Amino acid sequence: MPIITLTTDFGTRDHFVGAVKGSIYSELPDAKIVDISHQISPFNIMQTAYIVRNAYKTFPKGTVHIIGVDAELSQHNKHIALYLDGHYFICADNGVISLLTNEIQPEKIVEITIQNHYFLPFTLENFVKVACHIVRGGTLDVVGRRIENIKKLSDFKPVVTNDNSTIKGCIIYVDNYGNSISNISEKLFKEVGKGRKFEIDTRGHIFKKLHQKYSDVVTYSEDTKEYVSKDGEALALFNSSKFLEFAIYRSNLEIYGGASNLLGLDYLKSIEVRFF
Amino acid sequence: MPIITLTTDFGTRDHFVGAVKGSIYSELPDAKIVDISHQISPFNIMQTAYIVRNAYKTFPKGTVHIIGVDAELSQHNKHIALYLDGHYFICADNGVISLLTNEIQPEKIVEITIQNHYFLPFTLENFVKVACHIVRGGTLDVVGRRIENIKKLSDFKPVVTNDNSTIKGCIIYVDNYGNSISNISEKLFKEVGKGRKFEIDTRGHIFKKLHQKYSDVVTYSEDTKEYVSKDGEALALFNSSKFLEFAIYRSNLEIYGGASNLLGLDYLKSIEVRFF
Amino acid sequence: MPIITLTTDFGTRDHFVGAVKGSIYSELPDAKIVDISHQISPFNIMQTAYIVRNAYKTFPKGTVHIIGVDAELSQHNKHIALYLDGHYFICADNGVISLLTNEIQPEKIVEITIQNHYFLPFTLENFVKVACHIVRGGTLDVVGRRIENIKKLSDFKPVVTNDNSTIKGCIIYVDNYGNSISNISEKLFKEVGKGRKFEIDTRGHIFKKLHQKYSDVVTYSEDTKEYVSKDGEALALFNSSKFLEFAIYRSNLEIYGGASNLLGLDYLKSIEVRFF
């Protein structure tokens, strides 16, 4: 039976998440529900897209992803369901889908038209009914009417200067470790850089080197025959999602901070890669 | 197989929740466990009742709800299990059940009398054994002895003035968005108001209108042919639980606040509805 | 089918936990995954060991525990899998296993040698593959090569003075209630104390009594025929893990604090038990 995942800005104290799960189990006693995140910053579509984008592909094809962020049904915020990259997504037509991928187009999109007889917080009841319908093998056409266009949002795209000397980007996410993830992909970096030397200017710090992984800053001392940890050292690397990321080795936001505050690389802070 | 839900004040960092789940799976390898909340403010019975009350009904009939708040077994805090509204509840006799509902009486209540051979934090082991017993189809009488009375707690009830002109209530919960939920139900509002005009005084803000949903504050501009979002606008509405709630449209406590702080509508703050 | 548990320092906002679960379900559609904690303080091996140590035993024998803390694969941080006390553990060779138990030796340890074709944050992909292999009934020898030694870390051990008059210990964990747990076990206390009188000096507070449970501070008044709660009273007891713990009765860190701050008993604060 396909999995249903949940991504919301409900937080985990209130009854909202429990109520959604109860509704799903009431419809579908054998449902398999997996939480992706309930800690999205309220109404933050960019953050939602970042998290869903990085999580959904690891799930089996056919998984149904409910996105309960900014999802109150209204004239200007329709409910949609769609099939994209082998996965189903159920969400509001608030632009979040356009941020998931630039490269893959949804194969099928419907505006959800089933009635909801009562309503859950932020009308997720609609989403629950559609998710259970899909999990039971139903088609999108039964729960909605085909539409071709959904709302487009642009995320912050890096800019390449005309002379191909510079990529200007910005920080689009700060993770649990305070690592700052930029919108500059490894692909773009390589296409523009073509193997040239580079420096990465974060206004405050210049990186002249990219590491393969965080622990590459650890060095082996021939003198002491021991590994020398470099806790607190700043580094830049392409992370597992293949985007340029800035980190402080073994950072801890609770205790001594991370790249986001120690390097001043908070959300939307601009950075620049210069090739020469 | 019936679901077991967990509502506790354990938080999610410590080993407590994992240990309870491990104990359940050790008793009942095929258990289906659903978290309602582990972020209850420690020992807060009112908050516990609010959350369980709003979540339990969405689960299938026959679900077993473990409430692990203020649950250390003692002479003055007995362990009980009961059947109420088609659901089983296992908790301490600390008043939480009396806050779940005023209208429905438990059909059967037992004081738990099985021995616990070892003890988990706050003796939830007892609860685990009883929950697994019920899930396996056992009766309450096997694990306890029938009692008729349980501890009663009163929640904050709204007061209607003798002339039926005013309902005085207060805020009983603040949710993840900073929305402030009062103890004034739509039912009471309509019974007292009988369709009269009204104003809602929160001491600082007068609401003369109730919205159907949050996004009703958004308006359509004939000039620009666009929807005009009203982020930050204060509104009042009956929420999905049918209680009077105050909200700031698209609020975010992390960034710019919600009704609880921007309107000063924190827990127990009094409000007044005047009809005329 | 054996359970897979997850203990990480990933937090619950980011996509990391969802991505790990998606990977597991992609390998093993019927997997049973249980979260122990994702709120470990980043890179904190001591805290990880404390939480895993107190949770793992409640799970059925044969459970597979993934520990995703400080787990980036490198020359100096190998990936290991082992069988210990009837449970499987998959983690980095960073010392965490040596902190789980002093008394039980792993029966079998392998250094994981399977290739990982792509990588998840901090290379948990490796752990996922090994966990699924074990759950499917595979042996450790297929995924790694036998090793005999793993990294040893010492936790903070209590010291007994030569004359057996004093145990010097320290606080090793502060829980969700602000309760402060020391490294002095009930076993050591009894072996050294041999039933003598004692006082426990926390530098600021002297405890001359140990309670059996938290609510033992509540007293029954013959005058009023009522129980008198003692909210805010400091107490010492052996907790459910059988270690000396300091608590404030019904403490709440959000509102008025707990033993950790009210008694100044934060992490690593020293305490002393004197017998006479």
Q: Is the pLDDT of residue A118 over 50?
A: no
Q: What is the mean pLDDT of residues A190-211?
A: 95
pLDDT of residue B120: 47
Residue in B with minimal Cα distance to C30: B30
A227 pairs with which residues across the strands? A220
- Residue C73, CB half-sphere, CA atoms under 13 Å: how many? 18
> Would an 8 Å CB–CB cutoff place C123 in contact with chain B?
no
Question: Are A255 and C75 in contact (CB < 8 Å)?
Answer: no
Q: What is the mean pLDDT of residues B181-204?
A: 96
- Residue A160, CB half-sphere, CA atoms under 13 Å: how many? 13
The overall average pLDDT reported for chain C is 92
Q: What is the mean pLDDT of residues A226-249?
A: 90
Coil/strand/helix, residue C55: helix
Nearest to C233 by CA among C218, C254, C220: C218
pLDDT of residue A124: 86
> Would an 8 Å CB–CB cutoff place A138 in contact with chain B?
no
Question: Are A75 and B252 in contact (CB < 8 Å)?
Answer: no
pLDDT of residue C115: 65
- At C225-237, the pLDDT tens digits run 778 777 888 999 9
Chain C contact set for B119 (CB, 8 A): 240
- At C169-182, the pLDDT tens digits run 999 999 999 999 99
Task: For residues B205 and B91, give the distance between their C-alpha atoms in angstroms, rounded to a whole number.
Answer: 40
The overall average pLDDT reported for chain A is 92
- At C25-77, the pLDDT tens digits run 999 999 999 999 999 999 999 999 999 999 999 999 999 999 999 998 888 88
The structure's pTM equals: 0.94
Question: Are B22 and C59 in contact (CB < 8 Å)?
Answer: yes
Higher pLDDT, C133 or A218: C133
Question: Are A13 and B252 in contact (CB < 8 Å)?
Answer: no
Least reliable range by pLDDT among B222-236, C40-54, C93-107: B222-236
H/E stretch holding C17 reads: helix C16-27
Within 10 Å of residue A155's Cβ, how many Cβ atoms? 15
Please, which residues 146-175 of chain A have a Cβ atom closer than 8 Å to chain B? Answer: none
Q: Is the pLDDT of residue A259 over 90?
A: yes
pLDDT of residue B174: 96
> Would an 8 Å CB–CB cutoff place B209 in contact with chain A?
no
Tell me how close the Cα of A166 comes to any Cα of chain B, in angstroms: 33
- At C198-208, the pLDDT tens digits run 999 998 899 99
Q: What is the mean pLDDT of residues B117-140?
A: 81
Q: Is the pLDDT of residue B222 over 90?
A: no
Q: Is the pLDDT of residue C120 over 60?
A: no
Q: What is the mean pLDDT of residues B124-147?
A: 94
pLDDT of residue B115: 65
Under the banding of pLDDT at 50, 70 and 90, the label for residue B123 is: low
With 0-12 / 13-18 / 19 or more C-beta atoms within 10 angstroms meaning exposed / middle / buried, residue B225 is exposed
Question: Are B74 and C218 in contact (CB < 8 Å)?
Answer: yes
pLDDT of residue C122: 52
- At B15-59, the pLDDT tens digits run 999 999 999 999 999 999 999 999 999 999 999 999 999 999 999
- Using CB atoms, pick whichever of A10, A29, A42 lies closest to residue B251: A42
Chain B contact set for A18 (CB, 8 A): 5, 7, 34-37, 51, 55, 58
Chain B contact set for A41 (CB, 8 A): 252, 254-255
A272 pairs with which residues across the strands? A168, A201
Under the banding of pLDDT at 50, 70 and 90, the label for residue C118 is: very low
Q: Is the pLDDT of residue A19 over 90?
A: yes
> Would an 8 Å CB–CB cutoff place A39 in contact with chain C?
yes
Q: Is the pLDDT of residue B121 over 60?
A: no
Q: How far is CA A152 from CA A93, A101, A105, C66, in A?
A: 9, 11, 12, 40
Q: Which of A12, A240, A243, A260 to mutate to test the interface with C (most CBs of C within 10 A)?
A: A240
Q: Is the pLDDT of residue C121 over 90?
A: no
pLDDT of residue C227: 81
Q: How far is CA C252 from CA B10, B42, C261, in A?
A: 11, 5, 11
> Would an 8 Å CB–CB cutoff place C10 in contact with chain A?
yes
List of chains touching B (3+ CB pairs within 8 A):
A, C
